[in-house]
Amino acid sequence: MPPASRNKRVKKKSKHGISKGRADRKLFSVIIGLVLFGSIMIFSGSVPIASAQELEPYYYFVNHIQFIILGFIVFLVTYNLDYHHYPKIIIPALIVTFILLVLVLFTPEINYTHRWLDLKFIRFQVSDVAKLTITIYLASWLSQNHTKKYVQKNVKSYVIYNLIPFLSILGVFSLLIILQPDLSTTALIGMTALAIYFISGTDALHTIGTIGITITLALAGVVAGLLAPYRFERISGFFNFISTGELSEPFGRDYQLRQILIAVGTGKITGQGFAQSKQKFSYLTDTAFSDTIFAVFAEEFGFLGSFVLISVFIWIMFRGFKIAREAPDRLGSLIASGITIWLTLQAFIHFAVNVGLIPLTGIPLPFVSYGGSSLIVSMAAIGILLNISRYTGEEFK
């Protein structure tokens, strides 16, 4: 055998005839780094809260380590499962998700919501599972040739076979999630679904339909925000802050926003130093290691550290789109795009909330914040994304 041929790594082929190579190792390394760094932040941020709740000081940290182990197991499963199998199993998965979203509405209230399903050995948010199943379902459905045919045929076929099915599936699941109530997750799923829908077609009719869907979803979001009194108060308080630069109720409705702004402002350029945050001591209540973890991070690592962390997620976004662009087929491209959009959009919403750019909402930072279902589902999604990267035409660099 000639020397040159010995140096070439032999690639296995899947039954679909697509060469299977090595996954994106850089992306995998960055995700593992985020998970490990997140566990350190949770270790630091959760001790004061656990002590105040009369729990063991490392209660949340130990729980999170268990979530990491479960997440890695799920990651190995999705990483080793050929993504071409998802169109065959996604319908049953979507049905199970629908049933769970209905069941969770009849569970006992936790913090005035019905978001968590308790299976004794684990308590999880079904809406986190819905993020993944809806993303894969839409990518699988929109990747089929018949949807493209209907788009290009005529307006009537487009509306009947493309537009109405999309709005129906999104509407049903959005309604179930907003009834929990969880407007932030509903908005995240809606924006992700809209993005997948938009990139799945290129003709003028599809573009017009996407604009119509965008307007519909925006109006629905405004109505949902105005109907609930507590949401209306939160939104009106936020716009008052944006317009005047002052918090109208700094020790009432706007208390958490005030503490977030104090944390970010205290961090200045270089931060107060790791584990030196003062806002995690009761001021940010029990969200210092979950929904407001970035505010604590900004206090401890300052503007420079925040810039680095945000840059990491921007890099993840471009890396995910690179996988989508080099995917061997339409299915892989849409799944990779959907997962990338969902995870990075969730991260940027978290960042925006924690610097006062958008109204307060409870949404974790992927791979960093405390939360079992969020971490496990995010690791499952990364496993799928890395599986797709194995089927690109060239060795991933």
pLDDT at 349: 96
Dist CA 56 CA 71 (whole Å): 23
Which residues, including other chains, have CB under 8 Å from residue 192's CB and lie 6 or more apart? 131, 134, 135, 338, 341, 342, 345
Identify the residue with better confidence: 10 or 222.
Answer: 222
- Whether 27 and 386 have beta carbons less than 8 Å apart is answered as yes
* 3-state SS, residue 242: helix
DSSP per residue over 259-270, as a string? HHHHHHHHHTTT
* Helix (H), strand (E) at residue 37: helix 25-52
Shared domain check, 378 and 298 = yes
Shared domain check, 145 and 70 = no
- Whether 20 and 391 have beta carbons less than 8 Å apart is answered as yes
Question: Is there a cis peptide before residue 181, judged by omega within 30 degrees of 0?
Answer: yes
Average pLDDT over residues 16-42: 87
pLDDT band for 223, please (50, 70, 90 cuts). confident
Name the percent of the chain lying above pLDDT 90.
57
Over 60: is that where the pLDDT of 19 sits? no
Shared domain check, 329 and 288 = yes
Over 80: is that where the pLDDT of 10 sits? no
Nearest residue to 149 via CA among 159, 140, 137, 157:
157
Q: Is residue 26 part of a domain?
A: no
Average pLDDT over all residues of the chain:
87
pLDDT at 159: 84
Q: Is residue 9 part of a domain?
A: no
pLDDT at 124: 83
Identify the residue with better confidence: 110 or 78.
Answer: 78
Shared domain check, 194 and 120 = yes
Average pLDDT over residues 78-96: 95
Over 90: is that where the pLDDT of 156 sits? no
Please give the backbone phi and psi of residue 352, each rounded to the nearest 5 degrees, phi first: -65, -40
Q: Is residue 3 part of a domain?
A: no
- Whether 268 and 325 have beta carbons less than 8 Å apart is answered as no
pLDDT at 315: 97
Domain that holds residue 127: 81-227
pLDDT at 16: 55
Is the backbone of residue 315 left (phi > 0), alpha (psi -120 to 50) or beta? alpha
pLDDT band for 85, please (50, 70, 90 cuts). very high
Q: What is the DSSP letter of 253?
A: T
Over 50: is that where the pLDDT of 381 sits? yes
Over 70: is that where the pLDDT of 206 sits? yes
228-272, pLDDT tens digit by residue? 777 778 888 888 888 888 887 888 778 888 999 999 999 999 999
pLDDT at 7: 39
Over 60: is that where the pLDDT of 371 sits? yes
Shared domain check, 167 and 91 = yes
Cα angle for residues 109, 112, 114 (degrees, 5° grid) = 45
Nearest residue to 368 via CA among 28, 26, 25, 40:
40
Shared domain check, 392 and 254 = yes
- Whether 240 and 257 have beta carbons less than 8 Å apart is answered as no
Residue 164 CA: distances (Å) to CA of 86, 139, 170, 240, 341 = 23, 16, 10, 38, 23
pLDDT band for 2, please (50, 70, 90 cuts). very low
Q: Is residue 203 part of a domain?
A: yes
pLDDT at 158: 81
CA dihedral for 115, 118, 123, 126, sign (positive or negative): negative
* Helix (H), strand (E) at residue 118: strand 116-118
Shared domain check, 309 and 216 = no
How many Å separate Cα 233 from the centre of its chain? 26
Shared domain check, 355 and 299 = yes
> Which neighbouring-strand residues pair with 113?
110
> Which neighbouring-strand residues pair with 19?
13
Identify the residue with better confidence: 380 or 230.
Answer: 380
Shared domain check, 85 and 214 = yes
Q: Is residue 118 part of a domain?
A: yes
Shared domain check, 93 and 54 = no
pLDDT band for 392, please (50, 70, 90 cuts). confident
Average pLDDT over residues 100-110: 90
pLDDT band for 15, please (50, 70, 90 cuts). low
- Domain tally, the chain: 2
Residue 29 CA: distances (Å) to CA of 35, 159, 268, 394 = 10, 44, 29, 19
Q: Is residue 72 part of a domain?
A: yes
pLDDT at 66: 94
Identify the residue with better confidence: 382 or 397.
Answer: 382
Average pLDDT over residues 376-383: 97
pLDDT band for 396, please (50, 70, 90 cuts). low
Last residue of a domain, one of 196, 212, 227: 227
pLDDT at 59: 92
Over 60: is that where the pLDDT of 284 sits? yes
Shared domain check, 160 and 218 = yes
pLDDT at 245: 81
DSSP per residue over 16-33, as a string? TS-EE----HHHHHHHHH
Cα angle for residues 103, 107, 111 (degrees, 5° grid) = 130
- Whether 238 and 353 have beta carbons less than 8 Å apart is answered as no
Is 145 exposed, middle or buried (CB count within 10 Å of its CB: 0-12, 13-18, 19+)?
Answer: exposed
Global pTM value: 0.90
- Whether 295 and 263 have beta carbons less than 8 Å apart is answered as yes
Q: Is residue 290 part of a domain?
A: yes
Last residue of a domain, one of 227, 258, 278: 227
pLDDT at 375: 95
Please tell me the least confidently modeled range out of 120-129, 285-294, 363-372.
120-129
296-348, pLDDT tens digit by residue? 999 999 999 999 999 999 999 999 999 999 999 999 999 999 999 999 999 99
pLDDT band for 149, please (50, 70, 90 cuts). low
Shared domain check, 186 and 277 = no
